């Protein structure tokens, strides 16, 4: 089983911190799972222009291949202006929809207001539905107040949701495969 953890932003670090925390929980409890982090800020991904995904080259091709080869996902995004990042939307546009079909997704989001968690319900879950992916019932939303000054996730209730999401993702993936 191959898990791909995606930090879907090219700016900031809080989203990666939370995605990495879920990834660590999974790896600690399930060392047999092959896990990889895809941080979009580490790649020079082209904008989707509608062409066949197999014709992209360089970092764009590498990222498409990483996503397509995974069996299940942790997908994280900061919430900007009440929406997911353009970088994450571009990734969804680049990857052929069938690459996500019947695969498990878990969602993580970070934001500056306590209401931005609704983006998971109103944007990310419908995108997963379009892809015909299976969505973990829980998710993690972390507000800036949930982090220490050293950018560590410290809020006990959020750490509990991280643990719950990690367990749900693995449980669903094992049950479906």
Tell me the pTM: 0.96
Q: How far does CA 81 lie from the centroid of its chain? A: 19
Quick one: pLDDT at residue 82?
93
d(CA 160, CA 30): 18
Quick one: pLDDT at residue 175?
97
pLDDT value at 152 more than 90: yes
Residue 13, SS3?
coil
pLDDT value at 177 more than 90: no
Domain 2-176 fold is Rossmann fold (3.40.50)
Digit-coded pLDDT (tens) for 153-174: 999 999 999 999 999 999 999 9
Under the banding of pLDDT at 50, 70 and 90, the label for residue 65 is: very high
Inter-residue contact 139 to 120 (CB < 8 Å): yes
pLDDT value at 106 more than 90: yes
d(CA 95, CA 61): 10
Give, as one character, the DSSP assignment of residue 121.
Answer: I
Digit-coded pLDDT (tens) for 2-58: 999 999 999 999 999 999 999 999 999 999 999 999 999 999 999 999 999 999 999
pLDDT value at 76 more than 90: yes
DSSP-H helix ranges across the chain? 14-29, 58-69, 86-94, 118-119, 125-131, 156-176
Phi, psi (degrees; rounded to nearest 5) at 29 = -85, -20
d(CA 163, CA 174): 17
d(CA 61, CA 68): 10
């Amino acid at each position: 089983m191959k898990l791909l953890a995606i930090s879907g932003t090219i700016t900031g670090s809080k989203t990666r911190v939370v995605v990495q925390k879920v990834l660590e929980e999974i790896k600690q409890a399930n060392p047999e799972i092959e896990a990889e982090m895809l941080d979009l800020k580490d790649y020079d991904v082209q904008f989707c222009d509608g062409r066949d995904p197999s014709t992209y080259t360089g970092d764009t091709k590498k990222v498409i291949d990483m996503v397509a080869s995974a069996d299940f996902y942790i997908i994280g995004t900061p919430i900007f202006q009440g929406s997911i990042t353009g970088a994450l939307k571009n990734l969804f546009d680049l990857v052929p929809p069938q690459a996500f079909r019947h695969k498990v997704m878990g969602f993580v989001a970070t934001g500056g207001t306590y209401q931005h968690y609704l983006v998971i319900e109103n944007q990310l879950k419908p995108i997963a539905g379009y892809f015909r992916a299976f969505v973990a019932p829980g998710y993690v939303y972390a507000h800036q107040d949930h982090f220490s000054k050293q950018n560590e996730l410290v809020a006990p209730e959020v750490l509990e949701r991280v643990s719950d999401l990690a367990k749900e993702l693995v449980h669903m993936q094992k049950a479906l495969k």
